Amino acid sequence: MKRRSISILIAIMLAFTILFPATLDTIQVNATIIPDSEKSLSTDEYGTGALELTEEEKQWLEENQIQEEDDIHVPSRVTYLDSVDNSNSKYFPPIDTQGNVGSCTSWAMVYYQMTYMVNRALDRSADVSSHIMSPKWSYNLTNNGKNKGTSPVEVVKILSNIGAADLQQVPVTDNEKDPTFFTSWHSTENIWRNAQQAKLAGYSMVSVPSGNTPITSPDDSDLDEIKKYLAQGEILSFTTDIYRWYYDTITANSGVTANNDYLNQWIVSRCDSDSFAGWHRMTIVGYDDNIWVDINKDGKVQEGEKGAFKIANSWGNWWRNSGFVWLSYDTLNKISSVNNAALNNSNRTTPFSDIIRYVVKEPDEHSQMYAKITLNSAARDTVRVSISETTANGTKKQWNAIPFYGQNGAKCSFDGTYLNHDGTFLFDLSNVDSQVSASDLENNVWEVTIQDTKNDADSLTIKQVQLVDDKNNVVYEGDLTNWTSINGESKVVSFNKHVGNTTTIYYEGYNNPNIHYKVGNGEWTAVPGVSMDATTEQQGYRYKKVIDLGDETVVTACFNDGKGNWDSKNGVNYKFGVGVYGYSDGCVKTISGEDYTNYSTTIYYAGFSNPYIHYCIGNGAWTNPPGIAMNASTEKSGFYYKKVIDLGKATTLKACFNDGNGNWDNNYGNDYTFGYGSYTFKNGIIEKVNK
């Protein structure tokens, strides 16, 4: 996809780093405190790194978001308070810095937003590193091995499909001293398993106020959607052009006592489009309707000058208001609501785009069923992995495993070095089947396809592929018996091969029936076929047969009573797919699986000699007069002719009879109606026949 390049600029001091040792469960920040007099407030000294969304990504976000009415975790609407500050919650992590790394998207969406929302779901404090989500984890899985900007869409995919590792397991180290800082995928079983416990159940896009001047006071309804989520205890992330922000300070005014709590704090008063754009991802943590900033500098309080959102940034606690900044509601207007002709509105632009909210998975919503894969390679950029499930009815679902798709990183190993190294990954099988169960692992056909896309000096070794059911402590081994090396080719590892590829037929008809069949284009069973098994499993059917189809998808069959009486649909036979079907009275009924439902009507006739049947199926067209000749038959005593009519998906048939010489029996112009199944007809009387 086309990406807008982002300039990653020099940090405030390259020595400022964050260290979260894996051996400690406390948060340590190794940084030199800068006196206020030495602080520069220019954004030129900080990393940014949010990518502007492509049209394809915008469409993906719109199509895959959850709808609010489907979000069971959202409580009923609340009454909005005048002010909300979720950064004061125990769920919110300490302000920290991305330094000169272009990782703001992961800092906003993972370090702040995911940490807060996971802790909120678990009601735990963000006071230890194991309770804080690592921005380095998601950044390295989305940056293609480089210090570059990343897309919010890719981060959403990581959090939805793989989850978030915590800072205890993936600490943020000094990128100047760590040669694998940008490249390591932290591919150990323990890290990838634990990451699965912090995943998104869904996300949704939050509307940005539109129009030239949607906001004229803190009470405007255009602010309601953002306020709603903040007021119910969520925080939101957004993308902005931070180089276009203009800053002011909050001053005292006797008419606005609320300002006294925030005197001299920084507040954004406008956002102009005539300056250089620096795409940056940040987090909205609260709002205050009573804050006032003197936008037009007249010393008077206007409604349009009141109210602001509280924004958390990832540039350290020395930036602006100890790492936060206020952004006035009026900044959202393309044309200011403040009455002052001197204000230049021609260059204004909105500071908010692509606002995203999260719904995280509750503890009992995690499947705990994984594909566990161990690979060895020095060139992970050529590795692709996909996982598929084929159910008993032949339905196949497939998922291309993240991050093994598209441009998946630099040419290096999984640990970020340039030597062959093992990587162990766990992929949640709910990515393939959202309702995956232990029964699905036991009965369905699963395949893990691993590909090396380039035939070169770097081969890929597949060491282990398993399906793991942590919930029930069960491990399934596939047909990979030894380590396998591939180079420019694919390897498919199968589980439960053919187990789900079956046809189950429930039967009602002859007593002690046989089924005579062939699978695909194979050979027929020896006459009279194989006996069917007595069953009471399915109401209305007394017999059952399960047929293994192997790699085929259809079985052709007919039935007999072992005494020379056959039901073969007049030699056409019946067809069944992969799945479960019921058969009675010439009708194939699909219970589950591919639709092979097919009805037929059998009419045993007494009346005219050499009769014809003139009919229409359902609401279809009539046959051409005089109709179709009926066949001589001795199957039913007293009935000398027979006709089997295939109804397809229709269930009724209208008919009349004649002798081919102009003599008709059409029920005095009303015709006769037959359902599917077998009937006798004599002297205008229709009777259902049961075998």
Q: Using one digit for the tens of pLDDT, what is the confidence trace for 228-247?
A: 999 999 999 999 999 899 99
Which has more pLDDT, 552 or 501? 552
Enumerate residues 6+ apart whose C-beta is below 8 A from 349.
241, 244, 271, 272, 273, 334
Lowest mean pLDDT among 8-22, 299-313, 397-411: 8-22
Q: What is the dihedral of CA 455, 409, 429, 116, to 10 degrees?
A: 180
Kindly state the greatest CA–CA separation across the chain.
Answer: 115
Rounded Cα distance, 494 and 384, in Å: 16
Q: Using one digit for the tens of pLDDT, what is the confidence trace for 554-600?
A: 999 999 999 999 998 878 899 998 888 999 988 898 887 778 888 88
Q: Average pLDDT, stretch 509-517?
A: 95
Average pLDDT, the chain: 87
* Res 2: pLDDT: 32
Residue 26 has pLDDT above 80, yes or no: no
* Res 11: pLDDT: 34
* Res 82: pLDDT: 94
Rounded Cα distance, 612 and 623, in Å: 11
Residue 332 has pLDDT above 80, yes or no: yes
Which has more pLDDT, 635 or 322? 322
Residue 37 has pLDDT above 90, yes or no: no
Residue 23 has pLDDT above 50, yes or no: no
Q: Are 215 and 222 in contact (CB under 8 A)?
A: yes
Q: How confident is the model at residue 439 (pLDDT cuts 50, 70, 90)?
A: confident
Q: What stretches of 391-437 adopt beta strand conformation (E)?
A: 396-400, 421-428
Lowest mean pLDDT among 34-38, 61-65, 95-99, 659-663: 34-38
* Res 381: pLDDT: 93
Rounded Cα distance, 691 and 681, in Å: 16
For the ranges 110-119, 361-370, 433-442, the maximum mean pLDDT occurs at 110-119
* Res 34: pLDDT: 28
Residue 85 has pLDDT above 60, yes or no: yes
Residue 672 has pLDDT above 90, yes or no: yes
Number of C-alpha atoms within 13 angstroms, CB side, residue 61?
23
Residue 425 has pLDDT above 80, yes or no: yes
The size of the chain, in residues, is 691
Q: Are 149 and 102 in contact (CB under 8 A)?
A: yes
Rounded Cα distance, 86 and 92, in Å: 7
Q: Using one digit for the tens of pLDDT, what is the confidence trace for 243-280?
A: 899 999 999 999 999 999 999 999 999 998 765 667 99
* Res 620: pLDDT: 92
* Res 410: pLDDT: 78
CB-CB neighbours of 345 under 10 Å = 14
Q: Using one digit for the tens of pLDDT, what is the confidence trace for 454-511?
A: 999 999 999 999 999 998 888 998 888 889 999 999 999 988 754 447 888 999 999 9
Q: Which helix (H) or strand (E) holds 56?
A: helix 55-64
* Res 129: pLDDT: 97
Using a 10 angstrom Cβ sphere, with 0-12 exposed, 13-18 middle and 19 or more buried, the burial of residue 464 is middle
* Res 171: pLDDT: 96
The angle formed by the CA atoms of residues 459, 460 and 466, to the nearest 5 degrees, is 160
* Res 455: pLDDT: 93
Q: Average pLDDT, stretch 627-654?
A: 92
Enumerate residues 6+ apart whose C-beta is below 8 A from 579.
392, 393, 394, 503, 504, 590, 591, 592, 593, 594, 596
Residue with tokens 């008993």: 392
Q: How confident is the model at residue 314 (pLDDT cuts 50, 70, 90)?
A: very high
Residue 362 has pLDDT above 80, yes or no: yes
Which has more pLDDT, 672 or 597? 672
Residue 124 has pLDDT above 50, yes or no: yes
Q: How confident is the model at residue 407 (pLDDT cuts 50, 70, 90)?
A: low
For the ranges 82-86, 342-346, 585-589, 633-637, the maximum mean pLDDT occurs at 82-86
Residue 71 has pLDDT above 70, yes or no: no
**Which amino acid, residue 202?**
G
Q: Using one digit for the tens of pLDDT, what is the confidence trace for 41-60?
A: 334 457 899 998 999 999 99
Q: Average pLDDT, stretch 293-301?
A: 92
Global pTM exceeds 0.75? no
* Res 317: pLDDT: 95
Q: Using one digit for the tens of pLDDT, what is the confidence trace for 190-205?
A: 999 999 999 999 999 9
Dihedral sign computed on CA atoms, order 53, 114, 158, 95: positive
